[in-house]
Amino acid sequence: MQIVVMASGSGSNFEAIASACALGKIDAKVVSLIVDKPECGAIERANRLGINVDIVDFKSYSSKLAYEQAIVHLLNEYNPDFICLAGYMKIITETILDQYSGRIINIHPSLLPKYPGKQGLLDALNAGEKTVGVTVHYVDGGVDTGQIIKQASFPIKQMNQEEIETKLHAVEHELYVSVLRDLTMGER
């Protein structure tokens, strides 16, 4: 199976997925990392891991439509079984969904349907939640509204924010790998 990862940020989830594939924990290959800007930490990780990077610089397109058409063009070359959003900070529209709906999954730092949007963890903490968590879900046209595949949570107890963020990332990495392992074995 072939996986394309899309990211906008530091790329720790991308690295977790790519490393798990390389180690045979996920029966798939990451064929490309697509990023939406040239200054993105994930690129360095891909270079280190020897994974192809496609930079589709949003700023160099006249519209979101043209930008997403360029992404579809790339995706059609790879024809991936799964497209994993991993800190990809743009809404996916029907330009991509029309062809790839059902194959696009995302990880979100909250226990959806609570706290969708850009700062799921912060919103959960600000609301006084005593347990936080992460969700892997299919992507639809909404903001973090697609069908939930799997969730994981932990109590925050006496942890400070930095400790919570560190733990959350570790939980994310484990959850994303676990879901992809299941999906590539056809268990979902």
Residues found in the chain: 188
Q: Does 68 bind ligand GRF (CB under 6 A)?
A: no
Interacting span for ligand GRF (CB under 6 A) from 12-20, 48-56, 65-73, 76-84: 12-20
Helices (H), the chain: 12-22, 41-49, 64-78, 94-100, 120-126, 161-184
Strands 131-138 and 104-108: antiparallel
- Name which position in 137, 172, 179, 184 contacts ligand GRF (CB under 6 A): 172
- Name which position in 5, 12, 67, 156 contacts ligand GRF (CB under 6 A): 12
Q: Does 86 bind ligand GRF (CB under 6 A)?
A: yes
108 is catalytic: yes
Q: Does 109 bind ligand GRF (CB under 6 A)?
A: yes
Extract the tokens encoding 20.
């798990």
Q: In the block, which residue shows the tokens 């990211």? A: 7
- Name which position in 108, 112, 124, 132 contacts ligand GRF (CB under 6 A): 108
Longest CA–CA separation in the chain, Å: 49
Q: Does 9 bind ligand GRF (CB under 6 A)?
A: yes
Interacting span for ligand GRF (CB under 6 A) from 2-10, 43-51, 73-81, 151-159: 2-10
| 3-class SS shares of the chain: helix, strand, coil, % to 5 | 40, 20, 40
Extract the tokens encoding 37.
């800007």
**Residues designated catalytic:** 108
- Residues in the site for ligand GRF, rule: CB under 6 A? 7, 9-14, 86-87, 107-109, 172
